[in-house]
Amino acid sequence: MLPNTGRLAGCTVFITGASRGIGKAIALKAARDGANIVIAAKTTHVNPKLPGTIFTAAEEIEAAGGKALPCAVDVRDEQQISNAVEKAVERFGGIDILVNNASAISLTNTLETPTKRVDLMMNVNTRGTFLTSKACIPYLKKSKIAHILNLSPPLNLNPLWFKQHCAYTIAKYGMSMCVLGMAEEFKGEIAVNALWPKTAIHTAAMDMLGGSGIESQCRKVDIIADAAYSIFKKPKSFTGNFIIDENILREEGIKNFDIYAIKPGHPLIPDFFLDEHPDTITKKMESHDALPELKEEKSQPPPKPRSGAVAETFRIVKDSLSDDVVQATQAIYQFELSGEDGGTWFLDLKSKGGNVGYGEPSDQADVVMSMSTDDFVKMFSGKLKPTMAFMSGKLKIKGNMTLAIRLEKLMNQMNAKL
């Protein structure tokens, strides 16, 4: 872990979305230096699904050695932003660092993204970042430290990152374009940079998307907090950079990244938008996979070389089903498989005991997954991660994305049997 230096003692850090997750982790890291933290977030009352409020975060920040100012802020509301900035300046005398962390996500394709969800992502991610920056800039210009840090990705224009979740990509890239523009506009006065993780980070939001068990493929929020802290130590001349957490920490001398892993040694999910092509990552993961590849038997009839693989996969899936699995999943999946021995199959994890079969399910599917038969078998045998299949375009998903990601946990349980 990156040690604290005390450099941020007395500095005022304004963080959106700081009641939990990455925002709170950055706040706590700065608080250990004795910084003043403005917690600008929406949650004022306990939510059973999302732990943490601006007040519980404030208690943790004070306990860590910082001073906290909890402010109820929805970054879609310009007046709430202005009020929080005024309170921060009144309480602490100015603002030295702004972290635009608040974000909304929907990994849905164009036709599956409701207008209200498009508006939410654009208004929180792009517009919220712009308005919060605009409100803080007059005070940042007076600071000796003067940093804006957006939690947003490098501007990678590979169409791969647009095809599956166009609206989300536009909204996140809007945050990155604020970096591009403001870094140039305020050069010499304010350092404006972006920070993005190399791998998935374990947060409450990730649990909601991926379900329990997803954390073993993630790193802790600490890696982002340490990376942000190393950026804040840099001068105003360090600006206009799109920084990957692992890269900047390597420059700081960190060599052992297992300290950041939830489960050291376990394969990690690469994050979206990075330059390394997901197909390359998938191949790397497959090449290091200890599971034997499902090969067709030589005695199998040549017209249908895969005839046994898909049916056998579903047979093993069926044998793995239980009331507990059904209760934990509560979804019906339909698989549209292309290529030889393709067709429509279903996995019913709503009916008592669960069921699988060829053809369409008796009730409407919650999720429809389209892929080749080869990739289907690889996915269920653990040789192709669903996340990577989706990111690389091998897997197309229609319907409830949360339920789609939840299926990955079930696949992990079956890997040893396939």
The pLDDT score that the predictor gives to residue 301 is 36
Query: How high is the pLDDT of residue 77?
Result: 98
Cα of first residue to Cα of last residue in the chain, in angstroms, is 39
Contact 22, 54 (CB under 8 A): no
Q: How far apart, in whole angstroms, are the C-alpha atoms of residue 377 and residue 398?
A: 20
**Pick the catalytic residue: 168, 173, 229, 260?**
168
Does the reported pTM lie above 0.85?
no
Q: Nearest CA to 25 among 5, 9, 1, 49?
A: 1
Q: What is the pLDDT of residue 113?
A: 94
The per-residue pLDDT for 292 is: 30
Residue 351 exposure: Cα atoms within 13 Å on the Cβ side: 14
In the CATH scheme, what architecture does the domain 12-278 have? Answer: 3-Layer(aba) Sandwich (3.40)
Task: Provide the 10 A C-beta neighbour count for residue 148.
Answer: 26
- The per-residue pLDDT for 294 is 28
Work out the widest C-alpha separation in the chain, in whole angstroms. 80
pLDDT digits (tens, 9 = 90+) for 116-128: 999 999 999 999 9
- What burial letters (b/e) apply to 22-33, b meaning 16+ CB within 10 Å? bbbbbbbbbbbb
> Which residues of the chain have a pLDDT value below 70?
207-212, 275-308, 392, 409, 412-418
Nearest to 384 by CA among 373, 393, 375, 372: 375
Taking the domains of the chain in order of start, what are their residue ranges?
12-278, 309-416
Residues 384 and 286 sit within 8 Å (Cβ to Cβ): yes
Which CATH topology does 309-416 take?
Answer: Nonspecific Lipid-transfer Protein; Chain A (3.30.1050)
Check if 168 is active-site. yes
Token pair 């374009």 is at which residue?
Answer: 177
**Residue closest to 41 by CA, chosen among 142, 164, 124, 136:** 124
